[in-house]
Structure 1
Amino acid sequence: MLQGVLARLDDAGNHVPRFTAPRCLLERQAVGGCDACHTTCPHAAITLGMVGSSVQIDPDLCTGCGLCVQVCPSGALEYNLEPAMQSVRDQQDPAARATPDASLTCSRSGAGGPSLTCLGRVTPALLSAAGAWGAPLTLIHGDCAGCPVGAPDVPQRLARVLDTAQELRAPTGQPAQVTIRPATPEDTSRSLTVSRRSAFGALFRAGKQHLAQSIPDSPLPFVDWSVPEDRTPQEWTWRERSLRPTPPEDAAVLWPAPLVDDTCIDCPVCANVCPTGAITRDLQPDGGVQLLLNLGACTGCMACLHSCPPQAIHAQTHWRPAAFRAPLLLRESDTVM
C-alpha cells in the first residue's frame, strides 16, 4: 500500500499542461489561426511554430499557472480537472467537515486548505460542477500583482470564468455559490476539520495535498484519436455533466456552436478544421452528404465559421437540452463537392 501512495506522490509536479496537437487551431490550419496561449502566457514560455510543432512550451519558463489552458478555445492545452474537483467534492462531504463550505487557495497565498499552483487554473467546468453539488466554494488568492507564478489580473480573469459558469448554470436554476477574495491573516492559520472516518481516504486520494497543501498534478494520458469520445476535452465533457439539476426542456443552455445556412457549397472545410471532430460529414449511398454536429463535443472555437469559404456558418449561442442527446443535422445535400 505504501508503494502505491509513493507512486501517487511521484506523479505530482507535472506543471506543464498537456498539448493535444489535433485540437490546435494552428495544426488544423483554421483561417485566422490562434495565438491565445502565446499572447496570454505571462512568462514567455510558449512559442508558436509551423504545423507539426505549432505550440512549444519551455518547461524551464512555465510556472504551471494555467492561464494558457484557461484561454485555449479548443482544449488543445489542458490540465487534469479531476483532482481539483475531487478535492472540492471531498470538502463538501458533511462527514469530512464541520461545515459544507469548500475552498481552493493559491499556493503562494499562505492560506490553509487545498491549493492550486495558481488560481489561473480554475475553469468554468470546475465552478459549474461545484454549483451542481450545491455547496459554497471560496477561491482565495494571494498578492497577484507581485506574484512570479501567475499574472496581476488573475482575480479579474477569475471573475470572467465565474460569469461563464453562471451563464452555463442559469437554466438549472441553481447558480454556483462562489466567492473570490484575497487571503487574510486569519486564512494562514485556518485548518480543515477532517473526521477520523474520512481522514485516510482524503490522504490516499489527494496524496501530496496533505504534505505540501497542494493538489497534485496527475499527468493526463495521451488522447487516442481513434476513439471519438476521447477527442472531447475534459473541460467540455464536465461542462455538460455539470448541468444538474437537469434543465427544463424549454430552457436555453449557453453553448456556442455553429449553424449552417443554404449558401453552403457542401465542401469539407468545416469538418477538416474542427478541432474535436464535433462536425462530421456522413456520405450517403445515393451520393449525397449529411453534415452533422455533436453539440457536446463542440468547444465553440468557431474555426468552422472563420474558415467557411462561402461564409455559410453562423454562431448560435443557446440550445435546448434535447440538442445534446443526438447528433444534429446541420445540412443535407444530394451532391458532394
Structure 2
Amino acid sequence: MLEQASEYGDPLPRYTPPRCLLERQAVGGCDACHATCPHGAIVLGPLGQSVSIDPARCTGCGLCVQVCPSGALEYDLMAPLQSVRDARQDAGGVASLTCSQSGAGGPSLTCLGRVTPAVVAAAGAWGTPLTLVHGECSACPVGAPDVPERVRRVVEEAQALRAPTGQPTQVTVRRATSEDHNLGLKLSRRGAFAALFRAGRQQVAQALPERPLPFVDWSQPQQRVPEEWRWRAAALRPVPAPDAAVHWPAPLVDDTCIDCPVCANVCPTEAITREFKPEGGVMLLLNLAACTGCMACVRSCPPDAMHPQAEWLPAAFQAPILLRDSGSVM
C-alpha cells in the first residue's frame, strides 16, 4: 500500500522510443503529441531524443496519448478498466468515469483525455453501460477546451470497432451536474476493504490509483504491441461472425512493390516482418493484431505500393497475413 501511495499521481505518460515514428524515421515524421499538448510540455528533438516531456508543464491530461498513432506514449489502462469491470457487481451494472476537475463523485481520471477507444470498447464487451462526465473545459487548467469533442471522437472509434459484434457500448458523454456528487461506487464495508487491497486496481474514494508503467522490454515480441491495441483486440467480444467486417485500418501491398525493407523498418510495433526464403526471395507478413494503423509504411513506401485497408474479416487476426511472396529481394 505504501508503495502504491508513493508512486501514485505521477502524471507523465510512458514513452517507448522504438514505437515513435520519429525514431523510426518514417517519411513525414509525426508531431501529433507536440501539436496536441495544450501546455507546451512536449518537445521534439533529434534522433535518440525525439520526444521529451517537461514534468513541470505536464498535467497528465492524456491528450498526447489519445492522438499518438503508434502507442509510443501511453498510460496504464488497468485502473479505468478495472473500475468499469467491477461496476457490474458493485454499482448495479453501470460504470462511470469522471473528470477530476468536474466535482462529480465516483472513479475519476485526471482528465477525460485519458479515455481511449480500448476502455470504451471493453465496456461494451462486458455489457456495462458507461457514463463519461466532464467539467467546465473552456478554462480548465488540466486539459483543453475541446476535450468533450475529443472524447466523442474516441467513442466513435470504439463503436466502429464494436460494430461487427452487434453489441455497441452504451455510453454517455455529458457535463457534470449538481446531482453528480452522489455518483460513485456503492461498496459494502467488506467490499471497500477488498477494493483497497486489490493492488491499486480499484479505488475507494475518488481518483483512480495508477503506477508508472515499467519500461518495455523490446526483446519480448508481446511487449512491442501497445496495451491499448491488445485491449482493442480483446474487446472484440462477442466474436464477430466469420463474414463480418472488422474496422481495423492496416496496409495492403500491390504488385509495384520492389521488395525493399522500408515498410518493415518504419513499422513502430514490428507488425510488418520480412522472412527470407531458403530458395531465395522474401515473404512480407503482417500481424494484423499488432498493427496500430499509423500508416507510416504507406507514407514511406518508395514506389507507393502500399495502400490502407479499413476493414478485415475476423480470420485475419488468427495468423500472419501474407502481403507479398516474391522471388527477389532488395
Could you state the TM-score of these two structures normalised by the residue count of structure 1? 0.96
1:210 aligns with 2:214: no
Superposition map of 1:33-44 within 5 A: 33-44=29-40
Partner of 2:319: 326
Against the structure 1 CA distance between its residues 207 and 135, is the aligned structure 2 distance closer, same or farther, given a 3 Å change threshold? closer
Residue 210 of structure 1 and its aligned partner are, at CA, apart by 2.8
Partner of 2:19: 23
Once residues 315 and 67 of structure 1 are traced to their aligned partners in structure 2, the CA distance between those partners, rounded to angstroms, is 25
Q: In structure 2, give the amino acid aligned to 1:131.
A: G
Once residues 37 and 202 of structure 2 are traced to their aligned partners in structure 1, the CA distance between those partners, rounded to angstroms, is 27
Once residues 219 and 201 of structure 2 are traced to their aligned partners in structure 1, the CA distance between those partners, rounded to angstroms, is 32
Q: 1:300 aligns with which of 286, 293, 296?
A: 293
Partner of 1:317: 310
Partner of 1:186: 179
Residue 78 of structure 1 and its aligned partner are, at CA, apart by 0.2
| Deviation string, structure 1 residues 179-203 (Cα, Å, up to 9, x no partner) | 0000001112444311344222212
Partner of 2:225: 232
Once residues 276 and 94 of structure 2 are traced to their aligned partners in structure 1, the CA distance between those partners, rounded to angstroms, is 52
Partner of 1:285: 278
Residue 208 of structure 1 and its aligned partner are, at CA, apart by 8.7
Once residues 310 and 220 of structure 1 are traced to their aligned partners in structure 2, the CA distance between those partners, rounded to angstroms, is 39
Once residues 257 and 184 of structure 2 are traced to their aligned partners in structure 1, the CA distance between those partners, rounded to angstroms, is 59
Q: In structure 2, give the amino acid aligned to 1:42.
A: P
Aligned partners of 1:15 and 1:217 also within 8 Å = no
Once residues 281 and 329 of structure 2 are traced to their aligned partners in structure 1, the CA distance between those partners, rounded to angstroms, is 6
| Deviation string, structure 1 residues 286-318 (Cα, Å, up to 9, x no partner) | 121000000000000000000000000000000
Once residues 118 and 204 of structure 1 are traced to their aligned partners in structure 2, the CA distance between those partners, rounded to angstroms, is 25
Once residues 188 and 161 of structure 2 are traced to their aligned partners in structure 1, the CA distance between those partners, rounded to angstroms, is 34
Residue 22 of structure 1 and its aligned partner are, at CA, apart by 0.3
Q: Which runs of 5+ in 2 are unaligned?
A: none
Count matched residues. 329
Partner of 1:241: 234
Give the secondary structure class of the aligned counterpart of 2:21: coil
Partner of 2:74: 78
Once residues 207 and 129 of structure 1 are traced to their aligned partners in structure 2, the CA distance between those partners, rounded to angstroms, is 16
Once residues 250 and 199 of structure 1 are traced to their aligned partners in structure 2, the CA distance between those partners, rounded to angstroms, is 45
Q: In structure 2, give the amino acid aligned to 1:308.
A: C
Partner of 1:52: 48
Aligned partners of 1:20 and 1:77 also within 8 Å = yes
Q: Which runs of 5+ in 1 are unaligned?
A: none
Q: What percent identity do the matched residue pairs reach?
A: 68
Once residues 96 and 194 of structure 2 are traced to their aligned partners in structure 1, the CA distance between those partners, rounded to angstroms, is 18
Once residues 7 and 239 of structure 2 are traced to their aligned partners in structure 1, the CA distance between those partners, rounded to angstroms, is 36
Aligned partners of 1:12 and 1:208 also within 8 Å = no
1:149 aligns with 2:108: no
Once residues 208 and 123 of structure 1 are traced to their aligned partners in structure 2, the CA distance between those partners, rounded to angstroms, is 18
Give the secondary structure class of the aligned counterpart of 1:210: coil
Aligned partners of 1:252 and 1:320 also within 8 Å = yes
Partner of 1:170: 163
Give the secondary structure class of the aligned counterpart of 2:218: coil
Once residues 191 and 41 of structure 1 are traced to their aligned partners in structure 2, the CA distance between those partners, rounded to angstroms, is 30
Against the structure 1 CA distance between its residues 207 and 166, is the aligned structure 2 distance closer, same or farther, given a 3 Å change threshold? closer
Residue 229 of structure 1 and its aligned partner are, at CA, apart by 1.1
1:119 aligns with 2:112: yes
Could you state the TM-score of these two structures normalised by the residue count of structure 2? 0.98
Aligned partners of 2:264 and 2:272 also within 8 Å = yes
Once residues 242 and 226 of structure 1 are traced to their aligned partners in structure 2, the CA distance between those partners, rounded to angstroms, is 26
Q: In structure 1, give the amino acid aligned to 2:36.
A: T
Q: In structure 2, give the amino acid aligned to 1:52.
A: G
Partner of 2:4: 8
1:137 aligns with 2:119: no
Once residues 122 and 296 of structure 2 are traced to their aligned partners in structure 1, the CA distance between those partners, rounded to angstroms, is 27
Against the structure 1 CA distance between its residues 81 and 190, is the aligned structure 2 distance closer, same or farther, given a 3 Å change threshold? closer
Aligned partners of 1:208 and 1:214 also within 8 Å = no
Aligned partners of 1:46 and 1:55 also within 8 Å = yes
Once residues 162 and 154 of structure 2 are traced to their aligned partners in structure 1, the CA distance between those partners, rounded to angstroms, is 12
| Deviation string, structure 1 residues 125-173 (Cα, Å, up to 9, x no partner) | 0000000010211000000111000000000000000000000000000
Residue 250 of structure 1 and its aligned partner are, at CA, apart by 0.4
Aligned partners of 2:137 and 2:145 also within 8 Å = yes
